[in-house]
Amino acid sequence: NAGVMQNPRHLVRRRGQEARLRCSPMKGHSHVYWYRQLPEEGLKFMVYLQKENIIDESGMPKERFSAEFPKEGPSILRIQQVVRGDSAAYFCASSRVVGSGAADTQYFGPGTRLTVL
């Protein structure tokens, strides 16, 4: 059973370009989470998605950032018009749903390191 897959592992963009980060959850997992980790800091929650639905985007910056998890294919985190401050590691995690409806343990992908020049 493959783990959470993220690609690319490293992404370099110039200021003003767009960055697209992809995440394929573990087989059988219907929940996807995106986190951002700045250097020497912990993880900050960005967004929580189920298939075709954004459940919680309270951690997502209001502008330039968007996320989707289509019926088919990976989840995409999209950053438009990147700035130097967007340089960070972006981690995706996935989980299944337990009987109570709550999300179960989150398993993390290897992360995408975004560098904005």
Which residues of this protein are in contact with other proteins, per CB under 8 A?
33, 35, 41-45, 48, 56, 58, 89, 91, 93, 100, 102-108, 110-111
Q: Is 76 exposed, middle or buried (0-12, 13-18, 19+ CB in 10 A)?
A: middle
- Distances 65 to 10, 69, 104, 105, 112 between C-alpha atoms, Å: 18, 14, 26, 26, 15
Q: How far is the CB of 105 from other proteins (least distance, A)?
A: 6
Q: How far is the CB of 96 from other proteins (least distance, A)?
A: 13
Of 17 and 59, which CB lies nearer to other proteins in the complex structure?
59
Q: How far is the CB of 63 from other proteins (least distance, A)?
A: 22
Of 17 and 37, which CB lies nearer to other proteins in the complex structure?
37
